Amino acid sequence: MDKPIVVITHWVHDEVLNLLKASCHVIPNTTKETLPRQEIMRRSKNADGLMAFMPDCIDEEFLLECPRMKVIGAALKGYDNIDIDACKRRGIYFTIVPELLTEPVAELAVALILGIGRNILSGDRQVRNGQFWGWRPVLYGRGLADSTVGIVGMGAIGQAVAERLRGFRCRLIYSDPNPMRLETQTSLCLTRFRLEELLAQSDFILIAVPLTPQTRHVINPTTLSEIKTGAYLVNIGRGSVVDESAVSAALISGKLAGYAADVFEFEDLTCDGRPMEIFPALIANPGKTLFTPHIGSAVDSVRREIALEAAHSILSALNVTSCELISVDIANS
């Protein structure tokens, strides 16, 4: 019997390739770039399995071109770029890797909070531009000690961030439609507030919610008007949870002291009317912004384990391994 065909849309470690190649014919992407959508569809035309990543948009049109597809093992946690209903209609298993990204994303969240509050990038730029001649009373920012940090969204990542911030002697508050268990809330030194209360009290506001119709542009001109003047906004959730144009205006007006982000609106492929680039005025405001290129989970060992877990799920769904499905099966639950 012919081996099943598995397409991998983005670069993965050799260990992942070797695991899949033992039982499957693998069509990898050996570059570090995202292939054009039409090329991925061409490669997947006769595929039985697909390992998908954040830049991939798997929708009805895509699946129509892949009649043999049995499983999509996504090497990610958030799956807003995947049409789950389309997978269900075709009986396609869809799996994610929900746990492994939590810690590295939480670490980056803390780095962005410290980086934007303490003017790390501006200081680095000053040194490299030859403008540093010894200590001067400049680049005074905001530290975490004695500050209030408001976390919007208290899922696994929000909780991991709170755990890491406890040692900074800051007040931790959160907003989430679903209250935490009292013992967990107490152990993390958290207090729950309504969103408008959190915005009015926080010196640092961390966005840690997934992208849904309810959370899209939850940070908008109205909610920005409720934010404490001089606060810092940090986004490690999804780009479209914030209105980038409104954030830019708040930076220019002085309402916000700074904005840091690892995610951007243009990345959210399924959002109608999404921009095709980061809002230009944000890029043009380096003194008040700090950006990273969606590297929340970019820890080498973690990325290897994420892809390995996705690979095991693909092999299990294709019945070529005795392993159980170890990712979350959404499409067939």
Q: Does 114 share its domain with 66?
A: no
pLDDT computed for residue 319 by the predictor = 86
Over residues 275-300, mean pLDDT: 96
Residue 39 designated active-site: no
Q: Does 146 share its domain with 280?
A: yes
Q: Give residue 172's identity as a one-letter amino acid code.
A: L
DSSP conformation letters of 215-261: TTTSBSHHHHHTSPTTEEEEE-S-GGGB-HHHHHHHHHHTSEEEEEE
Q: Does 112 share its domain with 171?
A: yes
Judging by DSSP bridges, how do beta strands 171-175 and 148-152 pair with one another?
parallel
Collapse the DSSP code of 195 into the 3-class scheme (helix H, G, I; strand E, B; otherwise coil) and give the result.
Answer: helix
pLDDT computed for residue 1 by the predictor = 52
Residue 89 designated active-site: no
- Of 25, 37, 90, 294, which one is the catalytic site residue? 294
Q: How many residues are recorded in the chain?
A: 333
Is the pLDDT score of 146 beyond 50?
yes
Strand partners, 150: 173, 205
Domain count, the chain: 2
pLDDT digits (tens, 9 = 90+) for 45-66: 999 999 999 999 999 999 999 9
Prediction pTM value:
0.91
- Of 238, 244, 303, 309, which one is the catalytic site residue? 238
Q: Does 75 share its domain with 218?
A: no
Q: Does 125 share its domain with 240?
A: yes
Domain that holds residue 198: 102-291
Q: Does 257 share its domain with 313?
A: no
Alpha carbon 28 to its chain's center: 24
pLDDT computed for residue 260 by the predictor = 98
Q: Does 267 share its domain with 318?
A: no
Q: Does 150 share its domain with 29?
A: no
- Of 265, 267, 305, 309, which one is the catalytic site residue? 267
231 burial type by CB count under 10 A (0-12 exposed, 13-18 middle, 19+ buried): buried
pLDDT computed for residue 321 by the predictor = 52
Give the CATH number for residue 277. Answer: 3.40.50.720
pLDDT digits (tens, 9 = 90+) for 204-236: 999 999 999 999 999 999 999 999 999 999 999
Confidence of residue 329 (pLDDT cuts 50, 70, 90): very low
Collapse the DSSP code of 59 into the 3-class scheme (helix H, G, I; strand E, B; otherwise coil) and give the result.
Answer: coil
Sequence-distant (6+) residues with CB within 8 A of 209 are 152, 153, 155, 215, 218, 237, 238, 241
Residue 312 designated active-site: no
Sequence-distant (6+) residues with CB within 8 A of 301 are none
Q: Does 272 share its domain with 188?
A: yes
Q: Does 324 share its domain with 206?
A: no
Q: Does 307 share its domain with 282?
A: no
pLDDT digits (tens, 9 = 90+) for 3-35: 999 999 999 999 999 999 999 999 999 999 999
Percent of the chain with pLDDT strictly greater than 70: 95
Q: Does 250 share its domain with 312?
A: no
